[in-house]
Amino acid sequence: MTSARLWSFVACIFGLVAAAGARECEDEALPDMPSPRFVVIQNGTVKDARTGLMWKQCAEGLTGIGCARGQATALSWKWAMRRAQTSTFAGHADWRLPDRDELMSLLQRRCHGLDIDGVAFPNTPPGRFWSGTPATYYPGSAWRLHFGTGDMDYGTKRQSAYVRLVRDAHACTPVRPSTCLPHEDRLYEPHGSVEELEE
């Protein structure tokens, strides 16, 4: 085989690989376009149409349009849990830390890696965020998600990480009882317990 034919063959193979890669690479949503999955509500919350959860739009410490005011606050797990349990943001008193799977559900696959919807959740720090899920095999630890890399790992509860609060969108809240759906078995119970916080 002549060198010209060899180079043509190699170029053809690389072209096919590049074309296949281009076809497989599709963003779930463009970074500057809102995903139809997330509905931004004017009170600073975001409704997830896929999971039915309501998220606080800004990470703790950030406020305002585009979450542009303030500075994202990194807290220990214990203080993150307390922040959630005492929050009455947007008239709801049942905010909590998301569990591991709920937090992971915010990741969107991009051609360049993993990311979070920047329209629904603007100015999200590219760092670790706490979940409310303890790392069972590692006492005194809990799971965290890094929104810069998409990596899920665990850290000791004394370490600091960012916080994004979530609630069950149809849950009853004592701050505004009119938002409660009528159901005889529905009772308000705060998430977490004193035992969990003291670990």
Token pair belonging to 193: 């317990």
* Bridge partners, 166 (sequence order): 55, 96
Spatial separation of the C-alpha atoms in residues 94 and 87, rounded to whole Å: 8
The reply to whether 54 falls in a domain is yes
- The answer to whether residue 178 sits within a structural domain is yes
List phi, psi (to 5°) of 70.
90, -165
Quote the pLDDT of residue 108. Answer: 82
SS3 assignment, position 29:
coil
Given a contact cutoff of 8 angstroms between Cβ atoms, the answer to whether 173 and 180 are in contact is yes
Predicted confidence at residue 192, as pLDDT, reads 43
Q: Give a yes or no: residue 30 inside a domain.
A: no
The residue segments making up the domain with residue 96 are 37-198
In a domain, 20, yes or no: no
Tokens coding 141: 């630890």
User: How many CA atoms does the CB half-sphere of 179 hold within 13 Å?
Assistant: 15
> What does the pLDDT read at residue 97?
98
Tens digit of pLDDT at every position of the chain (199 positions):
566 565 555 444 444 444 444 435 455 545 555 568 999 998 999 999 999 999 999 999 999 999 999 999 999 999 999 999 999 999 999 999 999 999 999 998 766 655 789 899 999 999 999 999 999 999 999 999 999 888 999 999 999 999 999 999 766 555 555 555 444 433 434 444 434 444 4
Q: How many folded domains does the chain comprise?
A: 1
Q: Does residue 31 fall inside a structural domain?
A: no
For residue 24, the 8-state DSSP code is: H
24 within a domain of the structure (yes/no): no
Write the CATH number for 163: 3.10.100.10
Residue 58, token pair as written in the block: 């800004």
Q: Confirm whether 32 is domain-assigned.
A: no
- Looking at residue 61, its pLDDT comes to 98
